[in-house]
């Protein structure tokens, strides 16, 4: 076990048990509030707080944030959710003495330490290694976490690859949940919503919502056993995993966490030479071959499995990341800044040479909404399955809203799918949603619909503190010459609000960038899920490699007819 060199002698604490298997830790937890700290075998010795709460054993990984060595400052900080501590001991004592929940989603309180008996083992024996991913993959293939997690920091790897030549960056990882509940596997014939998943987490900066525990769990639709990972796995480097017994170097910060480049003093303005695109065309995809037909069943099945493996909060962070890249808020290169003459896509959006970016964002909005509607209308099974899918979309919209992920373009796309005529006409499905998933139905009617109406009218929340990416669609449509609906006096007021909001959005672009990077701090995305949310992939999925080159109006009209046919098959008129 590698003990962090942070000056914290937590090994002397009675609640620290050293290398201990998951099963043995759970056996020591007898009553609600019992807890211990152990070194996880599947996490290469990282500290994990195991706690029993409401009859279930929960496991929370303590995240270790390395700091640059400076005199008088610790070399690392320890964190569960928002608050960071200079040592593991101070973290445990703070949560234990203050009776604070280890995560807001579960409410689990660690109040009674389980004292260690005997000396600490220095390594895992063969029986304690039985909970490592390699040895428990199949027995735990259907274990799921029903809690809404609270701290997405890292992503793991899978032994499945996208192709024979796939690299480590193409692996299909599973997002670990915080915590992982130990529950009996559900029957194979049970259902869950398509976008509800068990293995993601909300970022620590996003305020958590009450847990929405599904009553049923759907088996993995991808057809392959998911790679079990105990908590929040981290991405391995492309060079491979270091051998046991050697400390691994700190991972490089991802591009959205990189520090801002220092601007040169007295830098002169450079006239933009060409329009900039943040959504590359003809990009190779792991999930799609060089040529593909529209709505290939095999690809749809793989995507279904991907979304089932991720909690709505995790999916929301993936969507926030891709939206920020497509908007030019994060990941903008120095060459792109020089070409567009500004530092952010939020500024470029309001300028004349932002025409291409505005069109790309509007098309992305349409593609995301169509894909969301297809998730509902493509459920040809029982009524419960469609209602569960609606519930999953509602929960995803809540996870994207202000105060959570704060991705308003993503929220608008999901709401566009739910409010699409082909979806809203499914009376039996919505009635079943109100009866079986009342909380989601109330949230949709009382919270999401008024919020979306306010955003479209330019009076919704737009503060960079609670929003990471503002609502871009009204400004993009207006600047592309679309007329505003409604009476003349109302449309004029709305026009002024939209233009004022666009100017304020461009002015606050650095603040939005900081808010987005703060939410994504430590986030390690699933490469395949991130790919599946890009604009180019969605276009190829919906219209095929040949149809994607057709005019946009023609493509949209054709797919609307497809959705109408699917809607009629599910619930015919009369």
Q: Look at residue 251 in the predicted model and tell me its pLDDT.
A: 37
pLDDT in tens, 321-354: 999 999 999 988 888 888 888 889 999 999 988 9
Cis peptide before 418 (omega within 30 of 0): no
* Distance from C-alpha of 392 to C-alpha of 292, rounded to nearest angstrom: 28
**pLDDT, greater one: 124 or 53:** 53
Q: What is the mean pLDDT of residues 13-37?
A: 89
Residues in Cβ contact with 62 at an 8 Å cutoff, skipping those fewer than 6 apart: 37, 46, 47, 48, 49, 78, 79, 80, 88, 91
Residue ranges per structural domain of the chain:
1-24+35-115, 297-570
Domain range 297-570, its CATH number among 2.30.29.30, 1.10.40.30, 1.10.840.10, 1.20.1440.230 = 1.10.840.10
- Residue 470 above 80 pLDDT? yes
Ramachandran assignment for 391, one of left (phi > 0), alpha (psi -120 to 50 degrees), beta (any other): alpha
Predicted confidence band of residue 273 (pLDDT cuts 50, 70, 90):
low
* Distance from C-alpha of 325 to C-alpha of 283, rounded to nearest angstrom: 15
Q: Look at residue 155 in the predicted model and tell me its pLDDT.
A: 39
Tokens 């909005």 -> residue? 365
Tokens matching residue 265: 């003093």
3-state SS of 126-170?
CCHHHHCHHHHCCCCCCCCCCCCCCCCCCCCCCCCCCCCCCCHHH
Residues in Cβ contact with 443 at an 8 Å cutoff, skipping those fewer than 6 apart: 394, 398
Q: Has domain 1-24+35-115 been given CATH number 3.30.505.10?
A: yes
CB 358 within 8 A of CB 544: no
Q: Look at residue 198 in the predicted model and tell me its pLDDT.
A: 35
CB 348 within 8 A of CB 340: yes
Beta strands of 210-266 (E only): which ranges? none
**pLDDT, greater one: 199 or 119:** 119
Helices then strands, each counted (H, E), the chain: 20, 8
Tokens matching residue 382: 């029982």
pLDDT > 70: percent of the chain: 70
Q: Look at residue 260 in the predicted model and tell me its pLDDT.
A: 44
Q: Look at residue 84 in the predicted model and tell me its pLDDT.
A: 82
Structural Rg of the chain based on CA atoms: 24
- State how far Cα 294 lies from the chain centre: 26
Residues in Cβ contact with 429 at an 8 Å cutoff, skipping those fewer than 6 apart: 376, 383, 386, 387, 390, 570, 571
**pLDDT, greater one: 223 or 314:** 314
pTM over 0.85: no
| Mean of the per-residue pLDDT values of the chain | 76
Q: Look at residue 5 in the predicted model and tell me its pLDDT.
A: 41
Residues in Cβ contact with 488 at an 8 Å cutoff, skipping those fewer than 6 apart: none
Predicted confidence band of residue 154 (pLDDT cuts 50, 70, 90):
very low
Q: Look at residue 103 in the predicted model and tell me its pLDDT.
A: 85
How does DSSP assign 258-301, residue by residue?
SPPPPPPTTPPP----S---SS-SS---SSS-SS--TT-HHHHH
Predicted confidence band of residue 449 (pLDDT cuts 50, 70, 90):
very high
Q: How far apart are the first and last CA of the chain?
A: 67
Tokens matching residue 373: 């509607």
Predicted confidence band of residue 127 (pLDDT cuts 50, 70, 90):
very low
Nearest to 193 by CA among 410, 418, 366: 418
């Amino acid at each position: 076990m590698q003990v962090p060199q942070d000056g914290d002698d937590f090994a002397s604490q009675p609640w620290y048990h050293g290398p201990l298997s998951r099963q043995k830790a759970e056996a020591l937890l007898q009553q609600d509030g019992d807890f211990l700290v152990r070194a996880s075998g599947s996490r290469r010795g990282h500290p994990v707080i195991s706690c029993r709460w409401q009859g279930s054993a929960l496991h929370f990984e303590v995240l270790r944030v390395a700091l640059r060595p400076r005199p008088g400052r610790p070399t690392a900080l320890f964190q569960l959710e928002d608050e960071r501590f200079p040592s593991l001991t101070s973290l445990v004592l703070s949560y234990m003495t203050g009776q604070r929940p280890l995560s807001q989603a579960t409410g689990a309180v660690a109040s009674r330490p389980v004292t260690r008996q005997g000396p600490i083992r220095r390594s895992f024996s063969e029986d304690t290694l039985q909970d490592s991913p390699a040895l428990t993959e199949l027995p735990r293939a259907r274990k799921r976490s029903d809690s809404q997690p609270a701290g997405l920091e890292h992503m793991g790897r899978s032994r499945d690859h996208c192709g024979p030549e796939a690299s480590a960056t193409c692996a299909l990882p599973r997002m670990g949940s915080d915590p992982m509940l130990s529950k009996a596997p559900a029957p194979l014939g049970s259902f869950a919503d398509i976008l509800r998943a068990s293995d993601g987490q909300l970022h620590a900066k996003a305020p958590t919502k009450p847990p929405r525990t599904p009553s049923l769990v759907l088996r993995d639709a991808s057809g392959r056993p998911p790679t079990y990972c105990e908590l929040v796995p981290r991405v391995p480097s492309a060079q491979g995993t270091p051998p046991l017994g050697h400390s691994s170097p700190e991972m490089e910060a991802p591009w959205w966490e990189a520090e801002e480049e220092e601007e040169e003093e007295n830098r002169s303005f450079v006239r933009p030479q060409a329009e900039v695109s943040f959504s590359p065309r003809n990009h190779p995809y792991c999930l799609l071959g060089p040529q593909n037909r529209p709505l290939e069943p095999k690809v749809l099945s793989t995507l279904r499995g991907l979304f089932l493996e991720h909690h709505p909060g995790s999916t929301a962070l993936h969507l926030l990341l891709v939206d920020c890249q497509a908007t030019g808020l994060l990941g903008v290169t120095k060459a792109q800044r020089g070409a567009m003459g500004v530092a952010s896509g939020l500024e470029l959006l309001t300028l004349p040479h932002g025409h291409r970016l505005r069109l790309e964002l509007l098309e992305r909005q349409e593609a995301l909404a169509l894909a969301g509607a297809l998730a509902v209308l493509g459920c040809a099974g029982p009524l419960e399955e469609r209602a569960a899918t609606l519930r999953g979309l509602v929960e995803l919209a809540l996870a994207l809203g202000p105060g959570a992920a704060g991705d308003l373009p993503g929220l608008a796309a999901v709401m566009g799918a739910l409010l699409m005529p082909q979806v809203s006409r499914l009376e039996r499905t919505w009635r079943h949603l109100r009866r079986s998933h009342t909380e989601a139905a109330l949230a949709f009617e009382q919270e999401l619909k008024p919020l979306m109406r306010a955003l479209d009218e330019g009076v919704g929340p737009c503060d960079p503190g609670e929003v990471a990416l503002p609502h871009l669609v009204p400004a993009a449509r207006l600047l592309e010459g679309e007329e505003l609906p409604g009476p003349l006096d109302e449309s004029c007021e709305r026009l002024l609000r939209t233009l004022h909001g666009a100017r304020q959005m461009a002015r606050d672009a650095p603040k939005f960038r900081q808010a987005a990077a703060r939410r994504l701090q430590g986030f390690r995305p699933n490469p395949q899920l991130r790919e599946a949310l890009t604009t180019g992939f969605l276009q190829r999925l919906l219209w095929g490699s040949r149809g994607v080159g057709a005019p946009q109006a023609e493509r949209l009209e054709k797919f609307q007819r497809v959705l109408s046919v699917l809607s009629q098959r599910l619930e015919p008129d009369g």
